[in-house]
Copies of this chain bind each other. A is one copy, B any other.
Amino acid sequence: MYKTVWILTLLLSGTLMAKEHKLSIVIHGGAGTILKKNLSGKKEAEIRAKLTQALDAGYKVLENGGESTAAVMAAINVMENSPLFNSGKGAVYNKVGKHELDASIMRGSDLQAGAVAGVKKTKNPINAAFEVLKNSPHVMLSGEGADKFAKQQQLEMVNNSYFDTDYRYQQWQAINDKKEVSLSEDLLKTDSKFGTVGAVAIDINGTIAAGTSTGGMTNKAFGRIGDSPIIGAGTYADDRSCGISATGHGEYFIRYAVAHDICARVLYKKNGLNQAANEVINQELVKAGGDGGIIGLDNKGNVVMTFNTAGMYRGFKTSEKKAQVFIYKTN
């Protein structure tokens, strides 16, 4: 009798173990001309600490059996709430001295997705994107309507001035002083960096989720929408292939449908994720002149962090290793 129970228990735990996927989370905090000489030791330490905190927050959700969408939001919220990144608090200023934020999230098990573009009052845009995914028949909401929807879903709302920081204000003033043409491509970068944050995670059920959140470009005019809220460009997740979050010169990421294209290469060409990401970021985009990078996970939980710029704020944590964070080419 005891023996039977013991064998049943073994069989059961074997089945459960077979169903448990390797947990993994990978994040980025923007790519660009990030060089050691331009970053103070103090600032560098702050960034590494915040990336680690974001990874730990996301991984904790996975470890507790939570869904990958929740892990992605937990990690991104840490970066949105930090003035160190161009998303949420610390977002850049638009032409009229306000902040307009974009975000998107996608779930790979059922290809459900949500996105918001140009929100001004939602504290955590990635949470608004998730509410769109969960509670709206739509995928993409924009402007006042998106804020209104976020409020209806009882998300935390703030005055636009909540996103203010002295650092970004001075950056904006400097650009205004230079009277730079607002359509200049240089303005897509702020302090030589494309400021966007993102996370991709895989949970115990093997569901991949990917999310991206950004404050966009300094001084943006003409209601420009970048790749971050575009499903297929800045964000994509499909459990059959991979999950991707991008950061970079958004126009190229839209035209090359970067996030979807990497997943399509994995699915149709049977490329490994690393090869697929390399071909798109270091071949296609480099040939076209599109700067930036991506983070991603395949459905085995393997991590990729690929960029064609000098650096990318990034890191990952899997069940095999503790959180590892990087800023420059190799460290």
Binding site for B on A (CB under 8 A): 106, 111-113, 117-118, 136-146, 148-149, 183-185, 188, 221-226, 230-233, 236, 250-251, 254-257, 260-261, 264-265, 268-269, 288
Q: Which residues of B contact A255 (CB under 8 A)?
A: 106, 111-113, 139, 231
In the complex, the chain B residue whose C-beta lies closest to that of A264 is B264
Q: Which of A106, A143, A232, A233 has the most CB of B within 10 A?
A: A232
Copies in the assembly, this chain: 2
A96 CB → nearest B CB, Å: 11
Interface of A is mostly: mixed
B254 near A223: Cβ-Cβ < 8 Å: no
Identify 18 new A-B residue pairs, CB closer than 8 A, beyond the known A113-B254, A232-B260. A111-B255, A118-B142, A136-B183, A137-B185, A137-B188, A139-B255, A140-B225, A141-B222, A142-B142, A142-B143, A143-B143, A145-B223, A145-B224, A231-B255, A232-B257, A236-B257, A260-B260, A260-B261
A28 CB → nearest B CB, Å: 21
B139 near A222: Cβ-Cβ < 8 Å: no
- Considering the chains assembled together, what is the distance between the CA atoms of A152 and B185 in angstroms? 18
- Considering the chains assembled together, what is the distance between the CA atoms of A142 and B119 in angstroms? 13
A135 CB → nearest B CB, Å: 9
B224 near A254: Cβ-Cβ < 8 Å: no
Q: Could you name 27 residue pairs across A and B whose Cβ atoms are closer than 8 Å?
A: A111-B256, A111-B288, A136-B222, A137-B185, A137-B188, A137-B251, A138-B222, A138-B251, A139-B255, A140-B224, A140-B230, A141-B224, A142-B142, A142-B223, A142-B224, A145-B222, A146-B223, A148-B222, A230-B231, A231-B254, A232-B232, A232-B233, A260-B264, A261-B264, A264-B264, A268-B268, A268-B269
- Considering the chains assembled together, what is the distance between the CA atoms of A141 and B226 in angstroms? 9
Q: Which residues of B contact A230 (CB under 8 A)?
A: 140, 230-232
In the complex, the chain B residue whose C-beta lies closest to that of A233 is B232
- Considering the chains assembled together, what is the distance between the CA atoms of A231 and B233 in angstroms? 9
